[in-house]
Amino acid sequence: MKKRIAMLLLAAVLSTSLTACGNQPGQTQQPPTDNTPETAISESTDNPAPAPSTPGTDTADGTVQIPENPLADAPSDTRPSASEDAELTADSIGPVSFTPNEKGYSMVYGANTLHAYFKRQNVVPGNGKMIIRKTSDDSVIEEINLKDTQKCSIGEADTTFNLLGWNGGTHLIIQLKETPASGEAYYVNLEEGAFTSQDGAILSKAIQDKTTWSYGVAPYGVIPARPSGSNVLVGDVLSADILIRQPAVLAKIENYDENRVRFNDKEFEQDAKLEIKIYQIGEDPFTVTFYDNDDNPLGSITLSYTASMPPKPEEEAPKKSITNL
């Protein structure tokens, strides 16, 4: 229980509030049975000047608003200080939790997505851009137009909302063009109005500092032979390299449907080759989570492939036999 608490809490520790700055108007292949030979895929799985008011805050004294934390058993060094959750108002986007973040939930090497969890329902991308910068030299790595549906999409209402103590909200996923480098550190700036309410009346505040949303890239990770999101065929066996590096000592395959996708193993204590076999058409996601010596989760990466049935082989026309009589 503590393991699950710690994992999801780490995803929730950077919780802030963005203030409004103005108003603007098939067929399937059957999985192997229990007597399948062991060789088959198994079932197992410098601080620039801040903005006029403190970025990412919504209180009169400039303090960060963190939703009341229901996880009292979480370690004190990772548990956010409890405070009364602010009510959603007509002039504020409200609390948001960013992942990955510098509070302990690193980006796993091989991952290339960022996540924003909003307490408010129906938050949508606005006209403001997202800028990814390298912490070491402040260079711009990527500028993202969040209205590009190939770059920003709506994610599932996962258990992060429960850990934040929210009854739902909005989960947005931001796709990066390149996989961030292992061991590197980055931070995210947001222009005013990067996110808005669905009617466009409430704009999110700009984030202009290096700390509100910052994250590092871990040395441990997953390097898939085919990028996540690729189209594959039912029956394909895909591969990925699992990299175990300190402080990670264990990687586990989690959150998958064994009727759709199976693996050669589901736990790895050293570098290894992960094999992934696809059994059904549609989306086939799974998560690789890394743990330390105390079985605390350090970070995770979710991979997903879209499978279709392989084309039927073309039948050869019967050969004609010609005989002279």
- Do residues 269 and 244 touch, judged by C-beta distance below 8 A? yes
Would 115 be classed as within a structural domain?
no
What pLDDT does 227 receive? 87
Q: What percent of the chain has pLDDT over 90?
A: 56
Q: What is the CATH number of the domain that holds 246?
A: 2.60.40.10
What pLDDT does 66 receive? 33
Would 317 be classed as within a structural domain?
no
- Do residues 139 and 191 touch, judged by C-beta distance below 8 A? no
Would 248 be classed as within a structural domain?
yes
Would 252 be classed as within a structural domain?
yes
Please state the domain count of the chain.
Answer: 1
Would 93 be classed as within a structural domain?
no
H/E stretch holding 239: strand 237-243
Model confidence pLDDT, tens digit, residues 37-53: 332 222 223 333 333 33
pLDDT averaged over the chain?
Answer: 77
Would 247 be classed as within a structural domain?
yes
Would 50 be classed as within a structural domain?
no
Q: How deeply is 244 buried, as exposed, middle or buried, from its count of CB atoms within 10 A (0-12, 13-18, 19+)?
A: middle
Q: Domain range holding 238?
A: 220-308
Would 6 be classed as within a structural domain?
no
